[in-house]
Amino acid sequence: MLEASNLECVRGERRLFAGVSFRLAAGEMLALQGRNGSGKTSLLRMLCGLTPAASGEIRWCGRPIARLGEEFRSALCFLGHQNAIKEELTPLENLLATARLAQEALDEEAALAALELVGLLGREDLACRYLSQGQKRRAALARLVHEKRALWVLDEPYVALDRAAIDLVAGLVGAHLQRGGLAVLTTHQAVAVSAGSVRELTLGDDAASQQRL
Amino acid sequence: MLSLIRAVIGRDLRLAMRRQADIVAATFFFIIVVSLFPLGVGPEPEQLRRMAPGVLWVAALLATMLSLPRLFADDHRDGTLEQLALAPQPLALIVLGKVIAHWLFAGLPLVLLAPVLGIQFDLAEDALAVLTLSLLIGTPALSGIGAIGAALTLGVRGGGVLLSLLVLPLYIPVLIFGAGAVDATVTGLGAQAHLSLLGALALGGVFFAPWPTAAALRVALE
Amino acid sequence: MSNRLINWFRYASPQSFYPLAGRMIPWFWGLAAIFGVAGLGIGFLLAPSDAQQGEGYRIIFLHVPASWMSMFIYLVMAFWAATGLAFNTRLSGMMASALAPTGALFAFLSLWTGALWGKPMWGTWWVWDARLTSELILLFLYIGFIALQAAIDDPRRADRAGAILALVGVVNIPIIYFSVQWWNTLHQGASVSLTKAPSMAAMMLWGMLLCALACWMYSIAVALMRVRVIMLERERHTDWVRALLRGKE
């Protein structure tokens, strides 16, 4: 469903990677690895259509994402390096506002259930600026509990999380793959997901220009 | 579509309410700048009456400039802007919602304060009414045009100063027709023509500006 | 037809445009010099002195072409900007940023010579005349464009942001001009009208047209020189620039 061919990324005067190709079918996950500065985040932003690739093409269901536009974005859930939560709002308000902006129906009950699952129950009425880093990350990840869109693109989802939360996120991703979803995520640590098949892609090797999967 | 715009406005207003200090600061800036002029040029009522429209309008432009840099900067910093850009609706619609919200907490207070400040300048009743009306019609254009500048200078070195350099020249027509409307009332020419042109600018500013703004935001996110 | 199209796009790449521009520059300098000498010669030696304004009017041989060029260059800049956004060509953005300083220079020259002209004619350096005011705002727009591009490090982003600004500016220029005109007629008492065209001897007209052509050729020559420098700077990591620089050493 998601297909990338010969992607090249140029940042400033440096070529971060070239010739990156992969193909991801329903129920599959791509784990991106690589040292800092190897272009993992850039590749994720390309897959979302935020950054244009220097060369190469990304296709969703066989059609280029640049052409698909809104149709592609309605199948995409992106969780970036930043949490995309508002410090002034409470976790509950954040979750509801995010759903409303994405035009998704999410009632308060479901939102509370999601917060309970990520362990923020009891803090749902506290402005996010009073939460710890890990709790903020949990508040951001609460989105994934009810997320039904087909393609998840997650940038370092495990950062700042404790062991229990990591297992929880891995479980969410696993359930998503089992439903026939796709996921692309970057990580520095190997985390097993409960279901679906995992492909790995390492950026920034010496053989970067011949990278293929 | 409307529900999306409403959702954006609701979110931005709620955020603004949690940070009331910003709104209050910009509003007091407006009051202080306007109040400085009589101290600078002397208290002769005749002179103050002639200066009032220009002074109030220029102060309104500057007060709007003050709140513009944060229009997108906060969303950019915490990653929310990426989410908005990846929403399945046109980004321009979301921008339109943000522009309307910006006007509600940055433009509307100026409109409401204008009659009070106009009294300081000894404006007659009809002139006060036209001044308030001209600000009511014109300030949405300031928010709309300003959004383009805010998006272009997003994440740029010295963004705040650069923003005024880009946006203030584009504000000139609004200033001319806004202050001109009050002038025309005072001199007995009638403000109709000025207000109509101001209305056209506001419509243009609010409904066309979101497109270049959305394009500029996508460039900033690359 | 298709052949011509291919040729056109061939020159849209910096690599092939660089030598072409290099070959064209001396020609444009030459033309600028010829037109300039001819125009100024006619303007200062042959054209009769004006009945009302005496010799002081001769500054129009610089003032009027400078005003024309300042407006025209903004349009050309916006054209390149639009092309860059539409077709994503690298050269377009470079051309736009190469033109901006020249346009700003002409806007500044126009204001400066206008002031020099105004002092003997109206006894004051500056009047809030509609044209002078619009020219001043045009200078602000140029400065905004240059400042925005200078503030953004990534050249690609700078090009695209500048392009959006140039397009917004070009849509706004007629609105600004109209509003300033409107404002000016409303405050007529405070200013001197420039709008009545002075009756011009044919010789004066010729001088002015030649000077305008000289300014035009100068703009092209300078913009091409600047675009060559921008190309070298931006593409310094590419093979063709490296080869070029090695060849020169």
CATH of the domain at A158: 3.40.50.300
Reported as a pLDDT band with limits 50, 70 and 90, residue C198 is low
H or E element in which residue C168 lies? helix C155-186
Comparing C-alpha atoms, which of A187, A206, A183 is closest to residue A18? A206
Question: What is the rounded end-to-end Cα distance, in angstroms, of chain C?
Answer: 41
Q: Which residues contact A29 (CB under 8 A, 6 or more apart)?
A: A173, A177, A182, A183, A184, A185, A193, A196, A197, A198, A199
Residues of C in contact with B69 (CB under 8 A): none
Q: Which of B93-107, B115-129, C190-204 has the lowest mean pLDDT?
A: C190-204
pLDDT in tens, C24-54: 899 999 999 999 999 888 888 877 776 666 7
Average pLDDT rounded to a whole number, residues C200-223: 87
Looking at the structure of chain B, the number of domains it has is 1
Range 128-167 of C in CB contact (< 8 A) with A: 154
Q: What is the mean pLDDT of residues A104-114?
A: 85
Q: Which residues of A are less than 8 Å from C154 in CB distance?
A: 12
Query: Which chain C residues are closer than 8 Å to B201 by Cβ?
Result: 175
Q: A109 in helix, strand or coil? A: helix
Q: How distant is the Cα of B144 from the closest Cα of chain A, in angstroms?
A: 21
Question: Of B11, B87, B94, which has the smallest distance from its Cβ to A97's Cβ?
Answer: B11
Beta-bridged to residue A17, according to DSSP, are A9
Q: Phi and psi (nearest 5°) for B111?
A: -60, -45
Domain spans of chain C, in order of start: 24-242
In the structure, what pLDDT confidence band is assigned to residue B117 with cuts at 50, 70 and 90? Answer: very high
What burial class does residue C21 get, using C-beta atoms within 10 Å of its C-beta: 0-12 exposed, 13-18 middle, 19+ buried? Answer: buried
- Residues A64, A160: one domain? yes
Residue showing tokens 């052409």: A67
Asked if residue A7 and residue A58 are part of one domain, the reply reads: yes
Domain match, A143 and A172 both: no
- When scoring C85, C90, C156 by the number of chain A Cβ atoms within 10 A, the one with the most, hence best to mutate, is C156
Average pLDDT, rounded, for chain A: 84
Which amino acid, B68? L
Same domain flag for A162 and A65: yes
Q: What are phi and psi of B60, to 5 degrees?
A: -65, -40
**Is the ipTM here above 0.95?**
no
Of the two residues C154 and C162, the one the predictor is more confident about is: C162
Element holding C186 (H helix, E strand): helix C155-186
* H or E element in which residue A67 lies: helix A65-68
- The percentage of residues in chain B with a pLDDT greater than 90, rounded to a whole number, is 67
pLDDT at C203 over 90: no
Q: Is A15 near chain C, with CB under 8 Å? A: no
pLDDT tens digit sequence for B131-160: 999 999 999 999 999 999 999 999 888 888
Which ranges of chain B would DSSP assign to H, the alpha helix?
A: 2-18, 20-41, 45-67, 70-77, 80-85, 91-102, 108-120, 125-152, 159-186, 192-208, 210-221
Could you say which of A133, A148, A163 is where a domain stops?
A148
The reported pLDDT for the residue numbered B144 is: 95
Domain enclosing residue B188, as ranges: 2-221
Q: Is B18 on the interface with A (CB under 8 A)?
A: yes
Q: How many domains does chain A have?
A: 2
Q: Smallest Cα–Cα separation from C103: which of C64, C76, C131?
A: C76
Whether residue A166 is found in the same domain as residue A120: no
Is residue A3 domain-shared with residue A102, that is, in the same domain? no
Set of chain C residues whose Cβ sits within 8 Å of the Cβ of A12:
154
Interchain CB contact of C237 with A (< 8 Å): yes
What integer pLDDT is reported at residue C233 of this predicted model? 85
Which domain range does residue A127 map to? Answer: 83-148
A47/A137 same-domain check? no
pLDDT at C146: 94
Q: What is the mean pLDDT of chain B?
A: 91
Q: Which residue has the higher pLDDT, C72 or A37?
A: C72
Q: Which helix (H) or strand (E) holds A185?
A: strand A182-186
Give the 3-state secondary structure of residue A127.
coil
- What pLDDT sits at residue C190? 38
Using the 3D structure, point to which of A125, A148, A171 is the last residue of a domain: A148
* Position A127 confidence tier, pLDDT thresholds 50, 70, 90: confident
Run of H or E including A165: helix A163-178
Residues A142 and A195 in one domain: no
Half-sphere exposure of C42 (CA within 13 A, CB side): 20
How near does any CA of chain C get to the CA of A140, in Å? 29
- Interface contact C131, partner B, CB < 8 A: no
Residues A181 and A126 in one domain: no
Residue A104 has pLDDT above 60, yes or no: yes
Helix axes C90-122, C60-87, angle to 10 degrees: 160
Q: Does A88 touch chain B (CB under 8 A)?
A: yes
pTM (2 d.p.): 0.88
Q: Is A187 helix (H, G, I), strand (E, B) or coil?
A: coil
- The whole-angstrom separation of Cα B106 and Cα B67 is 7
**Closest approach of chain C CAs to the CA of A47, in angstroms?**
19
